[in-house]
Amino acid sequence: MAFLASFRLAISRRVSTRRWRRLAVAGTAIAVAGLAMTGAARAEALLLVEADTGKVLQADNATYPWYPASLTKLMTAYVTLSNIHQGRITPDTLLTVSPTAMAQAPAKMGFKAGTQVTVDNALKMMLVKSANDMAVVLAEGVGGSIDGFSAQMNATAQRLGMTQTSYVNPNGLPADGQITSARDLAILTRAIIRDFPDYESYFHIPAIKFGRRVTANYNKLIGRYPGADGMKTGFICASGFNLVATATRNNKRLIAVVLGASSSSQRAVKAAQLLERGFHGNKLAWLRPSLGLVNMLQPIDAAPPNLRDDICGPKRKRPAAEDEDDEDVEVNADNGEGGVAAYAAGLQAPTMKASELLAGAAAPAQPVIVYTGPTRTGADVLAADAAESARQDAARPVGKKKKGAGRAKLATAKSDADKPDAKSDAKPAAKPAANAKPTAAAAKPASAAKPVAAAKPSAKPVAATPAKPKPAAKDAKSTAKPADQKS
């Protein structure tokens, strides 16, 4: 009996050893795959968090330092709303555009120094158009100066637990020391939702209208992704395309952070995929340990990656811009799952094409009218809008295509008054070409003795005239879209 027991024990140990060896090999494969995925994904950071609890549902490079670009404006909005809450200013407070604000790089409203705008309108312009000049107007009006306001931004970041963040300016234009992380951005977004529920409408305005100029929200999920209700996009060459997106379904609100995407379409698709996994559950979640709360994620001590060569280098087909319209792309729906995703590749969700998310126009929505000067209500808002439209019409050179025409992405963006202008600008020299044939035909009866000789001279100038409008059409097309390269 003793011999039989010893034999069984030996067999058991041998089987167990083999099993552990197989598990060790599998574990090594998972680890190697995870390292490979981490290296490949170093150019981007992804984070998915529950807004109410702060529970982390997915984190990839979430604590890696990053250039925030215009996601900086989320903190600018938070500090401004804090000052409103404390009674230091009101949404109706008038602020003045300074020469410093006027000199900011695009995207911007482009107001002259001395122009006055309310806090309310400045916030709308900053959050929808990502206007860098309006961010400075708010900073100088609330903090006295850019440095004074930046000090408030940094103090707020420390109070909220954003330990990886430092601010130098209020708009996110390139500056040494302007750094954050996906972790810190999720913490800030939760604070905005928690502390200022009465002002949430600022973060999901579909479009703004300033006279003839209509600007759709750069966040492509607004009006397209079911439940999307915020928040902000950002782009500079060094950071790539960034997005903080929020969405709510069945009383559950999620926060998705995407940093370093290669295009505006890809950041929207990646955010949508993160949100989809959060709302519908992840079949692989049980294979991974709990990631804890967002504020518990451990920061990484490193320099932020500089993506300038990849995003704005010569290999790119066209210049990168915040408001670009990209061709359809495919993004792996399980991108960032690390070694577990590589090991269980058979369970990956299907890829999502950008065309499925962005093919159609955003849901019809009336753009919010913004204006300069003191607060107006009711008919006075419409009067101010009509006056600004008339001023823009008067200032536009005769025959020049409206600046920004073709960029409006909402069905309601163009008024009836815009349509005749667009047609007259599109084909300024089409009529002479249409009249060419009747002219040539009329030449024939004019000299019956030499019909052939008479027809040839008149045919040559007629054939030469339609060639002139073509370069003009290209010039109009090239000036139709402003160079909003940074926001």
Kindly state the average pLDDT of the residues 99-125. 97
Domain for residue 160, yes or no? yes
Residue 281 pLDDT? 76
Environment class of 20 (CB within 10 Å of its CB; exposed 0-12, middle 13-18, buried 19+): exposed
Q: What is the rounded end-to-end Cα distance, in angstroms, of the chain?
A: 81
Residue 219 sits in a domain of what CATH number? 3.40.710.10
Query: Pairing state of beta strands 45-50 and 228-236?
Result: unpaired
8 Å CB contact between 242 and 263: no
Nearest residue to 337 (alpha-carbon basis) of 56, 144, 59, 92: 59
Q: How far apart (Å, rounded) are the C-alpha atoms in residues 65 and 244?
A: 16
Domain for residue 315, yes or no? yes
Instruction: Find the helix packing angle between 436-446 and 451-464, rounded to 10°.
Output: 160
HSE-CB at 247 with a 13 A cutoff on CA atoms is 26
Tokens of 207: 């479009």
**53 vs 350, more confident:** 53
How many structural domains is the chain composed of?
A: 1
Which one from 73, 129, 401, 409 is the annotated catalytic residue? 73
Kindly state the average pLDDT of the residues 452-470. 42
Residue 195 pLDDT? 98
pLDDT in tens, 221-275: 999 999 999 999 999 999 999 999 999 999 999 999 999 999 998 999 999 999 9
pLDDT in tens, 337-380: 332 232 222 333 444 454 566 667 788 889 999 999 999 999 99
Active site residue 16: no
Domain for residue 7, yes or no? no
What is the share, in percent, of the chain residues with pLDDT greater than 90? 58
Domain for residue 418, yes or no? no
Domain for residue 251, yes or no? yes
What does pTM read for this prediction?
0.71
Domain for residue 89, yes or no? yes
8 Å CB contact between 413 and 217: no
- Those residues whose C-beta lies under 8 Å from the C-beta of residue 235, and which sit 6 or more positions away, are 69, 70, 241, 242, 264, 320, 321, 322, 486, 487
Expressed as residue numbers, the domain containing 161 is: 44-358
Environment class of 324 (CB within 10 Å of its CB; exposed 0-12, middle 13-18, buried 19+): middle
Q: Kindly state the DSSP code that residue 180 receives in the 8-state scheme.
A: B
Residue 409 pLDDT? 41
Domain for residue 115, yes or no? yes
pLDDT in tens, 364-423: 889 999 999 999 999 999 999 999 999 999 988 876 655 444 444 444 443 333 333 433
Tokens of 324: 């670009």
Domain for residue 86, yes or no? yes
Active site residue 73: yes
Which one from 98, 108, 130, 264 is the annotated catalytic residue? 130
Q: How far apart (Å, rounded) are the C-alpha atoms in residues 144 and 147?
A: 8
Only one residue has tokens 């109706």, namely: 92
CA dihedral (109, 115, 119, 120) in degrees, to 10, reads -60
Share the mean pLDDT of the chain: 76
8 Å CB contact between 410 and 206: yes
Active site residue 130: yes
Which parts of 196-280 fold into alpha helices (H)?
264-280
Tokens of 399: 């025959």
